[in-house]
Structures are given as structure tokens and as C-alpha cells.
Chains A and B, each alone.
Chain A
Amino acid sequence: MNMASFPKVSIDFASSHLVFPMLVSVLLGLLLVAILVTRWRTIWGAFTTGPYWPAGIDHRRFFGTIVLTVLYFLAMPQIGDFFPNEGYGFLIASIPFLFLISLLYLHQRTRRQIVIAAINAVLAPTVVWYLLSTAFSLTLP
């Protein structure tokens, strides 16, 4: 973009993909500076005194959710490769994932609640798998 004779401007087609991103990046940078200038006390206070990690977070459930989700995402395509285009990767990976995450979210693990979680872990993915892959003909991992 040639801006030598502002406000006239000529855009070179070969570099036209950079015009708007560059403008938006500059604007974003200016806004960031404005935020830093107007809120520097709060930001500096947070940097110097903390807390660096929000208080009151249930670390076990929060990080447990992330770890189980990542494992679930990794397992789905791996299992699915054994049964191409059947959606079994989704079905087989979802059952233990749902059960484990239900256990993670339970506060009191009574036998009744564990049985309900187990039934839900089997039923919910099976119904979704059947509905989507059979009735709706959708692709599942």
C-alpha cells in the first residue's frame, strides 16, 4: 500500500493480503498501549503483588477436565483408525471419558451415583452415535 500522497492511496494487488491485517495490528497495538496507560496501576499491582493465579479455583476438577479432554481428543482418531468411517472412535473413547469426568465432578461418590454415572456414560454416547451416524448420516471420528 502506497500512502505517499495521503489521503490518496494505491494498493498493490500482490501485497493486498497484508493491508488490512497490518492496519488492524497497529490499531490493536495502540489499544493495548491505551489500556496499559489508563490501567497501569492495576496491571502493575497485579504483576508485583499477585495473585498470579486466581484464588479459589478447584485445581483438581479444572486441570482434570483439561487433561481428560486432551486424552479424549487424542484417543478418538487413534481408535477410529481401526474402524474407518464407522464412528467407533467416538463411541469407544466417549464411554470412559464420560464416566471418568462424571466421577471427577461428583462430590460424594455413593454407589447409586456411580451407577447412574456409568449408565449415563454408556447410554449418552451410544444414543448420540446411533442418531448422528445412522439416522443423520454424519461423520464421526
Chain B
Amino acid sequence: MDFLPQITPLFLTLILCGTVIGIIFGAIPGMTATMAVAVCLPLTYSLGLENGLALLLSLYVGGISGGLVPAILLNIPGTPASIATTFDGYPMTQRGEGESALKIGIYASLFGGLFSLAVLYLFAPALADFAIQFSYVEKFLIIFLALTVMAALSSSMLIGIFSGVLGILVSLIGAYDVSDGGNGEYRLMFDFMEPYLSSGFSLLPVLIGVFGLSSILIEAAAGVPESTSAAKVALGQGKKFRLSIFRGEWINLFRSASIGTFVGLLPGVGGSAASIMSYSQAKTFSKNPKTFGRGNPAGVIASEASNNGLTGGALIPLLSLGIPGDATTAILIGAFTLQGLQVGPLFIGGNPEIWKSMIVAMLIANVCMFAVMYFAIRHIARIVMVPKYILLPVILMMCVVGAYTTNYGIMFDVWTLLIFGLFGYLAHLIRLEIAPFIIGFILGPSAEIYFVKSLESFGTFTIFFTKSWIAMVLWILIAISIGLSIWMSTSAARHRDET
């Protein structure tokens, strides 16, 4: 009960506001939970870490959950994580069961969120305790494993690895930091850039550019499609929602939440993968697979339990290893950095109050999400009608504020926002993988330190194979992830040839 003093009125208000804003971002197609967290990050500067994290985590929970609204009502996933919700949610709406489908999704979201939170609470400290034994060698291999897993699960492994390595290279621009044991010399830049890039590109302007500004550019290039009219958003008067719908769906709920949590653990693998994997598993194990895609509530349950399962899962590698599980948790690293804290194996043990306040914030955010969405569903459904000519300029302005305040007022950070906004748009055009790029960018400096220090200490490349049994296990996992990727791509190519 030592966490009770942290639950102040401000703490609760921030969670409520964060959840509502997150739901709004999630419910508007084109806006994502990642964007909500990135845009609201500057608000956390003066809030303190516990309150700031409460706001950001509730934005995350709300953002992931809000995506089900347009997925069910308009057949447009509000966030990529709601992609499979459209498969059965929209057919239910067409049958006049929109409200029922939304409530099924809300219940499943709550279950997924709470399930993954329990896993986070139980599993992250154990993983962190284990990771304390890691030397530079194992830490480097963990990052290497994270990058290979992320690349292996990209739509193309080669492009995924390329994007991740490009992210690492961009992160190395600037001085080799003396505080990390470097020699302070500059690299990968011209002399005239030294006043701006001595510490490299700041993380937050890069993140806000890639996830915020680039989304606005993508919308602008698409002509900023008009928002949906009220006539299209009909909840229907068909079959009413009853909790008995969940009878016989417990296995589906547990399986989907587990898949979501597991996918969240894997770095850079988005919610869309969790959603589709859970959906296909639900279909495979169903007694009536033919009813999937025609408005089977089990499809909505599978998708929504899994994408909310992602929220707790993605925090596990972040808090125990310092490796973000997805793009949104990558931005949370920025919040920790701003407050002068480093996430990694020592974080949970060294900051028990912050750890507990995060768990409490996630718990309250899930309950808030449920209450807000369940009881205000008819109002929430209208969120999809907010006109984009109002919304997008405000978001753009908030992106600027976020970038500018990162380092307490440096205009170069605002230009960084533009540079990486354009890069994000270009990456979208040529189909570079953004998630591996960002994870590479975040982990690049650490990877350098661990790699160079390992070689300086041991003087041989073989140390990466012979340091310990953990190193051997990590190499086996790296080999499995690469092998799995090759197997998946060849079987996909064979499937394409056959059809």
C-alpha cells in the first residue's frame, strides 16, 4: 500500500485527461497512440516523472483502445493495431449491431490491458534481475538480437535490417561522448555542423518528426480527405449487447491477450501483427471458422484483446532491458531521459516508487478507458467526425512545441522535426521500415559503447561467442530469428507462386 500517496487528484486527473485524449487520437483515422504520446510529451516536462508517466501511459492505453471505434463503425482502423477489428466489427455494424460490437471490443480491450499489466508486473522485475548479470558483451548481443528479431518480422527482412542499420548510423552523428568513455571526437558530419550536431540529433524531435509531422504530410499528400459525416456513423438498433456473448470465449480472450503481450515483448513489431495473429488463431481454433469475416464477435474479441495486450508487453523490454517494445514505448524513453533517468536492468530495483506508480497508472488508465468508452460510447463515436482542417494544424503546432521544448528552446530541434518529418514521408513512399529505423536510432549509441568497450576490454572478436552461456543462448536466438524470417519469406513466396 506504499503506492497510495502517489494517487493524488492531479495524478488521477492526468490519467483521465490522457485516456480521453488518447481515445480521441485513436478514434481519428490517421492519428495514432504514438502521435498522441509524442505531441503531449512537452506537457510532462514540468509535471515530474510519476505524473508525466501517468499522462503518457494513459495516452498509450487510450490511443490503442480508441482505434476500435472507426474500425467497427467505418471499416477504417483508427490505428494499425485495430486492423483485424474491421474484419468482423464492421459486418456487425452493417447488421445494426454497432453498439454491441463496440462494447464487446471495449470489454476485450480491458481484459487484454489488465492481462498484460499482470504479466508486466510479474515478469519485468524477474527479467531485470536476470539482466543485471549482463556484461557489455551480452548487452551488445541483446541489442543485436532485438534488431534481428525486429528485422525478421518486418515485411521484408532485408529492408528491415537496412532500416535498422540506417537508424544506427544516423544516431552516431556527432561526438563520441566522453561521458560514455568516448574520445569526444566528431564523426559523420562536416565542420560547420558542429554547433548544431555536437550531441547528434535529439531523440524527441526525430520521433515527433517521423511519427507526427510525416503523418500530416501523408494526409496532405492524400488531399486531407473530408471527415466522416454523421449519417455514416450509425450505431444501429440491432441486437443489444449482453455479457453472455463472452460465454465460451475465455480461451480466445486468454490466447489473444497472451499473443498481444508476447508480440509487445518483441522490439519494433507493431500492434497490427498482434491483431492479425490473434485473429487468425481465433479463426483456426473456432468451431465455425466460416462465420469469421461475417460479423463473428469472436473476431472482435481476438483483435481487441491482443492489441491492448501489447501495452503491458511492450513495457517489459523497455523497463527491464532498456529496449523499447514498440514505437510508443520508444517515445517513453524520451520522457525518462528528460527527467535524467536511464531505463535498463537497474531501473526497477533503483526506482521502486516510479515502477509502482507506473503499474498503478496503467491499472487506472485501463479502468478509465473502460468507463469512458463504455458509458460515453455514443459521444465517442462522434469523435470520428472531428474535421481534419481543425485537427491537423493544431497537431502540427503541438509538434513544433514538443520539438522546441526538448532542449529548453533550441530552434535547430524544430528544423530537425522538419528534416525527419520529410524523411518519414519519403520512407513511407519508398517503403522503408520506420519502426526498425527508430529502434536502431535509439539503441545505436548504446550498441557502439557496448561493442567498442567489449573489444577494448577483451581484445578479440571471439569474446562475443565465448564470454558466457548467455552469449551462446543469445546467438542461438539470433540464428533462430534469422532462420525463421528466411523460412517465412520463402514459404510466402511459394504460397504466392501457388496462387
Chain B residue at smallest Cβ distance from A101: B393
Is the pair B390, A6 in contact by a Cβ cutoff of 8 Å?
no
Interface size on A, residues (CB 8 A): 64
Is the pair B223, A58 in contact by a Cβ cutoff of 8 Å?
yes
Interfacial chain B residues near A32, Cβ < 8 Å: 162
Complex Cα distance, B456 from A10, in Å, reads 7
- Segment 169-186 of B: residues with Cβ below 8 Å from A: 169, 172, 175-176, 182-186
Q: Is A21 an interface residue (CB 8 A)?
A: yes
Complex Cα distance, B158 from A73, in Å, reads 37
Given contacts A16-B456, A18-B187, A73-B418, contact A120 B172 (CB under 8 A): no
Q: Is B394 an interface residue (CB 8 A)?
A: yes
A75 CB to nearest B CB, Å = 12
Complex Cα distance, B390 from A123, in Å, reads 11
Complex Cα distance, B216 from A103, in Å, reads 15
Q: Is B392 an interface residue (CB 8 A)?
A: yes
Pick from A11, A58, A66: contact of B456, CB under 8 Å: A11
Is the pair A98, B221 in contact by a Cβ cutoff of 8 Å?
no
- Segment 458-473 of B: residues with Cβ below 8 Å from A: 459-462
B471 CB to nearest A CB, Å = 15
Is the pair A10, B459 in contact by a Cβ cutoff of 8 Å?
yes
Interfacial chain B residues near A138, Cβ < 8 Å: 42, 45-46, 401, 405
Complex Cα distance, B398 from A125, in Å, reads 9
Interfacial chain B residues near A17, Cβ < 8 Å: 175-176, 182-187
Pick from B172, B448, B455: contact of A9, CB under 8 Å: B455
Q: Is A105 an interface residue (CB 8 A)?
A: yes
Chain B interface, DSSP helix/strand/loop, else mixed: helix
Interfacial chain B residues near A116, Cβ < 8 Å: 387, 390
Q: Is B397 an interface residue (CB 8 A)?
A: yes
- As a 0/1 sequence over residues 16 to 56 of chain A, the CB contacts with chain B under 8 angstroms (1 = contact) are 11111101110110011011001000000000000000100
Is the pair A25, B169 in contact by a Cβ cutoff of 8 Å?
yes
- As a 0/1 sequence over residues 56 to 93 of chain B, the CB contacts with chain A under 8 angstroms (1 = contact) are 00000000000000000000000000000000000000
Chain A interface, DSSP helix/strand/loop, else mixed: helix
- As a 0/1 sequence over residues 51 to 71 of chain A, the CB contacts with chain B under 8 angstroms (1 = contact) are 000100110011011100110
Interfacial chain A residues near B161, Cβ < 8 Å: 31
Given contacts A9-B461, A27-B165, A65-B217, contact A21 B188 (CB under 8 A): yes
Is the pair B220, A105 in contact by a Cβ cutoff of 8 Å?
yes
Chain B residue at smallest Cβ distance from A46: B430
A41 CB to nearest B CB, Å = 15
Is the pair A132, B183 in contact by a Cβ cutoff of 8 Å?
no
Q: Is A88 an interface residue (CB 8 A)?
A: no
Interfacial chain B residues near A69, Cβ < 8 Å: 213, 396, 418
- Segment 68-114 of A: residues with Cβ below 8 Å from B: 69-70, 72-73, 76-77, 90, 94, 97-98, 101-103, 105-107, 113
Complex Cα distance, B222 from A105, in Å, reads 11
- Segment 220-234 of B: residues with Cβ below 8 Å from A: 220-224, 226
Chain A residue at smallest Cβ distance from B181: A16
A-B contact pairs, 8 of them (CB 8 A): A14-B183, A31-B158, A35-B158, A58-B221, A58-B224, A105-B389, A124-B397, A138-B46
Q: Which 6 A-B residue pairings sit nearest by Cβ, starting from the closest? A: A17-B176, A58-B223, A139-B409, A105-B389, A7-B461, A20-B448
Q: Which B residues are closer than 8 A to A by beta carbons? A: 42-43, 45-46, 158-159, 161-162, 165-166, 168-169, 172, 175-176, 182-188, 213, 216-217, 220-224, 226, 387-390, 392-394, 396-398, 400-401, 404-405, 408-409, 411, 414-415, 418, 422, 429, 444, 447-448, 451-452, 455-456, 459-462
